[in-house]
């Protein structure tokens, strides 16, 4: 719904308002506008205008980044390491950027109501379960995994919505110059046709069998090609929600109590399908209203007077809280079905509304949602149970038990994996069943005879492994890989000889020798590579990148060559198809969209710089440099 509302706003001047806003700051293309102070409030790390960024919020966000780093690195990090990696600075920059846009939105009077906020959270794809509907368990899990309390997260979500409102005119309203679009389209979409032959290397030169002395040298010089990769043997314990879910009993009264507490979630508020005509002046609005009162079709009035098409007038089916302007919401929800409102004034112009459909408030019954609530409660409790079991598991390990002993006490299954490499494959190169990339990553970050940290793997629960044995990369003895070494050396020599011969054939073709004759003489395969682009799009058979690049760099009739595996490819440019943006409107539109997005991003950066200059950004360096765990004066450096 917001997308349609924004479209209507943009069509009648929002772009002009944004441009005027930026120009009013009189600042373009500048960097950060920061001033630094070494004193001030120790509880504030930065100030944007009159808005303060508290040290508590800053430290909380840094701690969330620490948790992510710990999961990624599989080890703790120190504060010095955080600062060296630029983590603390990036956190502060992100919080300042968010605050700048929120201040700018509020300066323009942009707000997000509670109903709108709740609705946007419910339709967010991240929080949908298997049914495709909002899933509170999924919502809670995401908050838990990212270390957010619900109130903190909702405030951040609201800030994102406000920022989206502010930037909608910039992001959605840019149009790249037609000449630029056409120039890029002409370069990207030009296509070329080439006659091609592929000749096996073995047909272009004969090489002799290498003596043993040369084999030994080749084996040594190309050791990486004949080295067995590092592999590891380890024991894995998984602590999974599904393993404890069946043991969770949920009382009927708790399900009913939860239903009552979440009744608003299962209630769809009254919805109204609304059409809107947005006009520039009171006179136009009165003229339109007279025409509607006389029985003229709503879409016709919109087209004739407001120059709006039918799609632009349609705001969709919305609740009262989804209409961002209170005066419009009040008018729309007082109208009868099919009725037309009086002209309504707002900062955006004059509005005339028509209600085309009314859907009454609906509430899903207890029986309809009982199974869903029960599953969600059980899942939430299972998370808690699993968390406690994980703590018990770590306590057992801390008490001196081995991983196998601790797992046996809690009835967790231990799975043994042997000779597993970094690719997650075994000795024969096939994927090892029961492994995922995260487990493999942790396995190769854990030292021999050590336990890994207990890893939170999201919906999969937790896992820990013990590294039983590490076998380093080992060069396979020549006697065990002699035939592979001989074959590799012969392939390399054939490719070298064939490459020189192919270069000579290109010169012959340039001198007038027929390509088909060359292909026949050397047992090659000939085909025509139909029209393809610089990226190889359109090729039915793969060509080496060097050949594709050469085809686009040469004139008609010129030839080029490159090796491809155990063959040599020779290509002769046959035809050039110039790109036509008028005939290829789809590709031209894709390029225009990419350019528009780029322009929008550039303007967003300029607007951010302008806002920083307008509101002023001050960083309290003393509070920023204080140890993160010091609170109001303590010490501490490790995590």
- Residues comprising the chain, all counted: 639
74 close to 454: Cβ distance less than 8 angstroms: no
Residue 423 has pLDDT above 80, yes or no: yes
Q: How far apart are the C-alpha atoms of 353 and 526, rounded to whole Å?
A: 68
pLDDT, position 36: 55
Residue 10 has pLDDT above 50, yes or no: no
pLDDT, position 576: 95
Residue 335 has pLDDT above 50, yes or no: yes
245 close to 465: Cβ distance less than 8 angstroms: no
pLDDT, position 114: 77
- As given in the structure block, the two tokens for residue 475 are 């060069």
**Closest C-alpha among 613, 591, 597, 560 to residue 195:** 560
Biggest distance spanned by C-alpha atoms of the chain: 102
Do 270-360 and 231-248+388-472 fall under one CATH topology?
Answer: yes
**CATH number attached to the domain at 2-177+589-625:** 1.10.4030.10
- As given in the structure block, the two tokens for residue 78 are 């120190």
Helix (H, G, I), strand (E, B) or coil at 129: coil
509 close to 264: Cβ distance less than 8 angstroms: no
- As given in the structure block, the two tokens for residue 339 are 């009725």
Start-to-end Cα distance in the chain: 45
Q: How confident is the model at residue 289 (pLDDT cuts 50, 70, 90)?
A: very high
Q: How confident is the model at residue 76 (pLDDT cuts 50, 70, 90)?
A: low
How many C-alpha atoms does 75 have within 13 Å on its Cβ side?
12
Q: How far apart are the C-alpha atoms of 151 and 240, rounded to whole Å?
A: 28
Task: Look at 60-64, 292-296, 313-317, 421-425 and tell me which has the smallest mean pLDDT.
Answer: 60-64
Q: Please give the average per-residue pLDDT across 393-405, as a whole number.
A: 91
**DSSP type of residue 451:** B
pLDDT, position 1: 39
Q: Please give the average per-residue pLDDT across 65-94, as a whole number.
A: 73
Residue 18 has pLDDT above 50, yes or no: no
Task: Look at 5-19, 178-192, 419-433 and tell me which has the smallest mean pLDDT.
Answer: 5-19
pLDDT, position 8: 38
Per-residue pLDDT reduced to its tens digit, 195-244: 999 999 999 988 888 888 899 999 999 998 999 899 999 999 998 877 77
- Specify the higher pLDDT residue, 129 or 437: 437
Q: Give percent helix, percent strand, percent coil of the chain, each to the nearest 5.
A: 50, 20, 30
Q: How far apart are the C-alpha atoms of 285 and 306, rounded to whole Å?
A: 9
Provide the Cα torsion 552, 554, 557, 562; round to 10°: -80
Q: Please give the average per-residue pLDDT across 613-631, as a whole number.
A: 76
Task: Look at 24-33, 344-353, 620-629 and tell me which has the smallest mean pLDDT.
Answer: 24-33
544 close to 529: Cβ distance less than 8 angstroms: no
Q: How confident is the model at residue 23 (pLDDT cuts 50, 70, 90)?
A: very low
Q: How confident is the model at residue 417 (pLDDT cuts 50, 70, 90)?
A: very high
Q: How far apart are the C-alpha atoms of 189 and 587, rounded to whole Å?
A: 8
Per-residue pLDDT reduced to its tens digit, 254-278: 888 988 888 888 888 888 999 999 8
Q: How far apart are the C-alpha atoms of 194 and 570, rounded to whole Å?
A: 10
pLDDT, position 282: 92
**CATH number attached to the domain at 231-248+388-472:** 3.10.50
Q: How far apart are the C-alpha atoms of 198 and 556, rounded to whole Å?
A: 20
Per-residue pLDDT reduced to its tens digit, 36-51: 555 556 688 888 887 8
Domain boundaries, the chain: 2-177+589-625, 191-226+478-577, 231-248+388-472, 270-360
**Closest C-alpha among 406, 427, 410, 409 to residue 418:** 427
Residue 637 has pLDDT above 60, yes or no: no
Q: How confident is the model at residue 496 (pLDDT cuts 50, 70, 90)?
A: very high
pLDDT, position 73: 61
**Which long-range CB contacts under 8 A does 69-78 form with residues at least 24 apart?**
70/453, 70/639, 71/455, 71/456, 73/445, 74/441, 74/442, 74/445, 74/446, 74/452, 74/453, 74/455, 75/445, 75/453, 76/638, 76/639, 77/639, 78/637, 78/638, 78/639
Per-residue pLDDT reduced to its tens digit, 129-188: 777 778 777 787 777 666 677 777 787 787 777 777 777 666 666 677 888 888 888 898
pLDDT, position 169: 63
Report the percent of the chain where pLDDT is more than 70.
88
Q: How far apart are the C-alpha atoms of 520 and 560, rounded to whole Å?
A: 18
- Specify the higher pLDDT residue, 158 or 629: 158
User: What letters, b where the CB count within 10 A reaches 16 and e where it falls short, cover 1-13?
Assistant: bbebbbbbbbbbe
> Does residue 87 come out as left (phi exceeding 0), alpha (psi in the -120 to 50 range) or beta?
alpha
Q: How confident is the model at residue 370 (pLDDT cuts 50, 70, 90)?
A: confident
User: What letters, b where the CB count within 10 A reaches 16 and e where it falls short, cover 256-276?
Assistant: eebbeeeeeebeebebbbbbb
Residue 552 has pLDDT above 90, yes or no: yes
Walk across the sheet containing 462-471 and list its strands: 414-420, 231-239, 462-471, 455-456
**Closest C-alpha among 32, 10, 36 to residue 166:** 10
356 close to 274: Cβ distance less than 8 angstroms: yes
Q: How far apart are the C-alpha atoms of 505 and 393, rounded to whole Å?
A: 71
Q: Please give the average per-residue pLDDT across 353-379, as a whole number.
A: 87
192 close to 551: Cβ distance less than 8 angstroms: yes
- The residue written with tokens 């207990």 in the block is 454
- As given in the structure block, the two tokens for residue 345 are 């004034």
Q: How many C-beta atoms lie closer than 10 Å to residue 244's C-beta?
A: 19
Provide the Cα torsion 63, 67, 69, 70; round to 10°: 130
Q: How confident is the model at residue 22 (pLDDT cuts 50, 70, 90)?
A: very low
CA distances from 263 to 135, 269, 295 (A): 14, 12, 43
- The residue written with tokens 């919906």 in the block is 459
Q: How far apart are the C-alpha atoms of 187 and 434, rounded to whole Å?
A: 48
Q: pTM of the prediction?
A: 0.48
Architecture of domain 270-360: Roll (3.10)
Q: How confident is the model at residue 21 (pLDDT cuts 50, 70, 90)?
A: very low
pLDDT, position 31: 36
């Amino acid at each position: 719904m917001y997308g349609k509302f924004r479209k209507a706003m943009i069509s009648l001047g929002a772009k002009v308002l944004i441009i005027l806003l930026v120009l009013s700051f009189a600042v373009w293309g500048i960097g950060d506008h920061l001033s630094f102070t070494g004193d001030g409030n120790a509880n504030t790390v930065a100030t944007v205008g009159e808005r303060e960024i508290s040290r508590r919020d800053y430290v909380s966000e840094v701690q969330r980044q620490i948790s992510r780093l710990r999961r990624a690195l599989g080890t703790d990090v120190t504060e010095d390491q955080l600062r060296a990696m630029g983590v603390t600075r990036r956190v502060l920059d992100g919080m300042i950027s968010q605050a700048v846009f929120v201040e700018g939105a509020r300066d323009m009077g942009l707000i997000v109501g509670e109903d709108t906020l709740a609705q946007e959270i419910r339709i967010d794809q991240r929080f949908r379960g298997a049914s495709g509907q909002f899933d509170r368990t999924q919502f809670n899990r995401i908050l838990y995994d990212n270390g957010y309390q619900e109130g903190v997260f909702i405030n951040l979500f609201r800030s994102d919505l406000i920022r989206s409102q502010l930037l909608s005119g910039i992001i959605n309203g840019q149009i790249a110059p037609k000449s630029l679009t056409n120039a890029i389209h002409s370069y990207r979409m030009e296509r070329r046709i080439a006659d091609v032959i592929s000749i096996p290397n073995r047909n272009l030169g004969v090489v002799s069998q290498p003596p043993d002395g040369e084999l030994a040298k080749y084996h040594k010089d190309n050791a990486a090609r004949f080295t067995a990769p590092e592999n590891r043997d380890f024991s894995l314990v998984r602590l999974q929600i599904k393993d404890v879910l069946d043991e969770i009993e949920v009382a009927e009264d708790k399900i009913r109590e939860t239903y009552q507490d979440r009744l608003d979630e299962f209630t769809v508020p009254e919805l109204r399908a609304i059409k809107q005509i947005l006009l520039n002046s009171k006179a136009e609005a009165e003229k339109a209203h007279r025409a509607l009162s006389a029985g003229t079709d709503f879409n016709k009035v919109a087209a004739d007077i407001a120059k709006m098409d039918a799609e632009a007038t349609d705001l969709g089916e919305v609740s009262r809280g989804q209409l961002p302007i209170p005066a419009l919401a009040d008018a729309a929800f007082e109208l009868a079905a099919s009725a037309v409102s009086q002209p309504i004034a707002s900062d955006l112009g004059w509005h005339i509304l028509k209600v085309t459909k009314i859907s009454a408030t609906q509430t899903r019954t207890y029986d309809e949602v009982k199974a869903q609530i029960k599953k969600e409660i059980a899942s939430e409790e299972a998370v808690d149970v699993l968390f406690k079991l994980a703590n018990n598991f770590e306590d057992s390990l801390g008490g001196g038990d081995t991983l196998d002993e601790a797992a046996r006490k809690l009835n967790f299954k231990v799975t043994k994996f042997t000779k597993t490499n970094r690719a997650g494959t075994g000795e024969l190169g096939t994927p090892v069943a029961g492994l995922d990339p995260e487990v493999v990553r942790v396995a190769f970050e854990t030292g021999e005879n050590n336990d890994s940290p207990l890893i939170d793997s999201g919906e999969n629960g937790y896992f820990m492994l013990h590294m039983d044995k590490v076998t380093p990369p080992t060069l396979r003895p020549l006697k065990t890989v002699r035939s592979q070494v001989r074959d590799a050396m012969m392939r390399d020599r054939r490719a070298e000889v064939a490459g020189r011969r192919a270069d000579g054939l290109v010169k012959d073709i340039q001198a007038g020798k027929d390509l088909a004759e060359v292909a026949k003489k050397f047992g090659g395969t000939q085909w025509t590579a139909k029209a393809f682009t610089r990226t190889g799009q359109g090729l039915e058979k793969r060509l080496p990148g060097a050949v594709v690049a050469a085809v686009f760099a040469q004139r008609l009739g010129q030839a080029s060559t490159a090796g491809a595996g155990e063959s040599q490819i020779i290509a002769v440019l046959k035809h050039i198809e110039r790109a036509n943006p008028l005939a290829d409107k789809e590709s031209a539109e894709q390029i225009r969209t990419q350019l528009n997005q780029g322009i929008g991003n550039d303007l967003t950066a300029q607007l951010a710089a302008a806002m920083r200059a307008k509101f002023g950004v001050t960083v309290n360096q003393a509070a920023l440099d204080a140890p993160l765990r010091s609170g109001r004066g303590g010490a501490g450096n490790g995590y």
